[in-house]
Chain A
Amino acid sequence: MRDVVVVGGSIAALTAVEMLRVEDFAGRITVLSAEDVPPYTRVPLSKGVLAGTESIDDIVLAPLAAEVDLQLNTPATALDIDTRVVHTPAGPVPYDGLVIATGGRARRLGRPDQDERVLRSHTDGARLRDEVTAASSVLVVGGGFLGMEIASTARKLGKEVTVVDLAPPLSRLLGTVVGGHVRDVATEAGVRIVVTDGGVRLLGAPTPTGVELVDGSRMEADLVVSAIGDVPNVEWLAGSGVQLRGGIVVDRHCRVAPNVVACGDVTVVATGDGELTRSPHWTNAVDQARAAVHALLHGDEAAPYRPSEYCWTEQFGLDVKMVGAPDPQGEPVVLDGALAAGSALLAWPDATAPRTVVALNHHTPPAKLKRLLRAPAMAAQR
């Protein structure tokens, strides 16, 4: 294998590049990024960047090694697996090995004539930062990690903040207990949370001015931000033969086709029961990129993808770190501290074989959280 092409410009793509180098891959590495700036981390976009305390310079990742050919403004437009060519507006790029890491983009709910505000790229971040500064009220549509982080930052800036969602914010991610606690803290901080039974319609064009609920009532704000998840960037693969089912379907080695692997937000992985799930989180992108490169270079010999199942959020002065299955059900076992006291280490469904562990404002390092989750399972295998 002499030429590896990596399509994408965010953390999955970059991790793939670094893993190729760690594996002493001696061939040429080309990175095709659709973005107009060098790779950066999206994590601070809803926090420091939105608050105006961090600029794009602060969130740019360390430059790639000089021998890596990074081509910005170069989106992949088509893939030909038979001839091993990625097509771009600048011309065809041949490969021996291909890493697909085209990520996702913000999901939208508005009409084409509505200039919907979302937060996914640095451009989105810079624009929202300016607009939130000028606004006195902010309406966030969607109460996932991103939506609630935006609400937290906006509230800290003194804005009047409302979050609207179909379900109680965060419960599907953090479960009802921790989700409820975070909502309580958010409410105490002055955020208004509206749970609506039925979808919302985005009002105003081109600039959104509010939403209409199914009962016809309306909510308006100076700034309306949609944070309703993301969709994988797979359109360029139409007709390529790559299996697409809500993302690129990858096997347990992150393989897609001969000499083609995929990693990060663009993928879906089959779980035990045959269902396909996406895990659009930072650590999953890193885990998958590592497995994908190993599979590309070593085939079946490579260690399969083993998700670390770790994600986190920071909002309203709470630092929440979670390992294991999302949406833990029922009451947790308290391993340390107490939720009511503001610092707790919690496990579900029990302490001996937890499937989910959450640290809330609790100084248990993530590595130890992962060990708490894995140690019983490993002991059981012995």
Chain B
Amino acid sequence: MRAADALVKALEKEGVQHVFGIPGGAIMEVYDALYDSSITHILSRHEQGAVHMADGYARASGRVGVAFATSGPGATNTVTGIATAYMDSSPIVVFTGQVPRSMIGNDAFQEADITGITMPITKHNYLVTDEKSLLRIVKEAFYIASTGRPGPVLVDLPKDVTRADIEFDYPDKIDLIGYKPKIEGHPRQIKRAVELIMKSERPIILAGGGVRISNAHNEVLRLAETIPAFVVTTLMGKGAIPEMHPLSLGFIGMHGTKYGNYAIMDSDLIIAVGCRFSDRTVGRFSDFAPNAKIIHIDIDPAEIGKNIRVDVPIVGDAKVVLRDIIKYVRYKQRKEWFDYVNKLRSEYPLKYEFREDVIKPQFVIEKIYELFPDAIITTEVGQNQMWAAQYFKVKYPRQFITSGGLGTMGFGFPAAIGAKVAFPDRIVIDIAGDGSFLMNIQELATCVDYGINVIVCVLNNAYLGMVRQWQQLFYNRRYSATRLRYPDLSFEKIAEGFGAYGITVDKPSEVEDALKEASEVDKPVVIDFHVEVEENVFPFVPPGKSLREVIG
């Protein structure tokens, strides 16, 4: 069988239903094989878009996302997408074409050393140098991408390899002596964790993206309700428990809720689940929660003790470890702490000043939440992302999709496309800024082409808003290169030009109608909300400060 056909057959065996990509010379054999396959291929308009789509698909569904690109520029265009997936531990497999083996290293046309380039941003990668190893590698790639701490795997396919003749002998076993993720937590550490929990007077659970990955939501909720403890999340952990739950204090960090930040700083025990204590979440490392003992549960041992000293390290799968802990913990009354935190919550609510004459971006998010509380939300990066995180209360796991670690502008729109492909019957909304949306706006063509009807809500403030905010606060309002407005730009017309549907909204009173209209149109929709231009995101913990040093 032609190796390319065997590859496509292997993908079918892995349960792949959708592939996102763009063909080119070096990967033509594979595309030729795809022609007869049951797999649906979505042709993106830029390889970066294809990888973000695969990533969004993976984050929304929990299945491995797959992207194809050709050699050289096709492969290098995937880099930002791969790095984005890597930072947020998203399981994707990227197949790239490569020049024939005999030409590798000769600077051939469209040759790039993509395995060398992506070494630091993949969980693992392969250059297939022997066609006989192709199927083993495909099997390993899916296994590595989706197990342990998930992440992107890249497989580079020299053209002559894809053309070679091989037996279709798809392995059903994996033999990787150097890769055995640890699932069960160590019993002694679990015992120590339980002791700390039972001793604690002011416990708090910090839930990260690992909760979603390991499907540990029910366990987090049960632990919180049993002990009981409040739950804060990282940005990636949003949705770990429903954010309207009385024990939820929202997300913490640079733009997290004040009450969440204060509560974790005042806690005496942090039960951290599947998070990596990033600088954006914990502020200045040395001042983080000075009186708290820390239990850190993570499947990646390298995350434990990397940024923050930990009292009880537990390496294992979040769901499995939490189940063990839940078995041994009991209810304990902690009225003083609960009264204190509830007082924080009522004293420091999220707030903004509503106005009749100009649209506040926060108001748009509130309306989106009010009208579509079940929608899958993706975001771009910057102010739009933070307002979305603050004002959209996530109900269920995998509902809120955002580029947390790498902070990739241009991620949200293609990610929304990927999510919509995974869940065609759900409303999928990309909350965007005008700067971010322009970074992958070409994918409007993809949406229209395949009838992937996502809604893009552009919070158009005519600035690279987050940078402008920092310039205002830290650079004496010297708005260097952050102004975006040029008089004739119309997202409505751009949308129409692509064959999508565009709406422009200038007044707060029109926001609701525009959103309703968008959900009724049978087309991809771009709503251009002309919002307050110099609105800032508050609360705000300046970079390098402790979570107590909040502005706004």
Q: Do A and B come from one complex?
A: no
The interface of chain B, by Cβ under 8 A from chain A, is none
